[in-house]
């Protein structure tokens, strides 16, 4: 069961918590990837988003 995340509905100007969301991985312009969660607001029914954080890539070497 996914954990509850806090989202903010800009139109209703209210925050809400939900565990019904969809996570997508999106590539940024300057490289790297970021996880974004999408949910439906119970107040207005619009789709809202929240950035979860960067995707940690396995096997990538750091430059010195």
Residue 28's pLDDT is 86
Residue 62's pLDDT is 60
Residue 11's pLDDT is 95
> Which regions of the chain are under pLDDT 70?
1, 59-64
d(CA 12, CA 3): 23
Locate the domains of the chain by residue range. Answer: 5-54
CB atoms within 10 A of CB 52: 15
What is the value of pTM for the model shown? 0.78
Burial class (CB in 10 A: 0-12, 13-18, 19+), 11: exposed
d(CA 41, CA 13): 11
């Amino acid at each position: 069961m996914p954990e509850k995340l806090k989202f903010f509905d800009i139109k209703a100007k209210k925050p809400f918590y939900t565990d019904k969301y969809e996570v997508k991985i999106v590539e940024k312009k300057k490289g790297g990837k970021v996880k974004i969660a999408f949910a439906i607001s119970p107040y207005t029914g619009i789709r809202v988003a929240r950035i979860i954080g960067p995707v940690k890539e396995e096997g990538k070497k750091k430059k010195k």
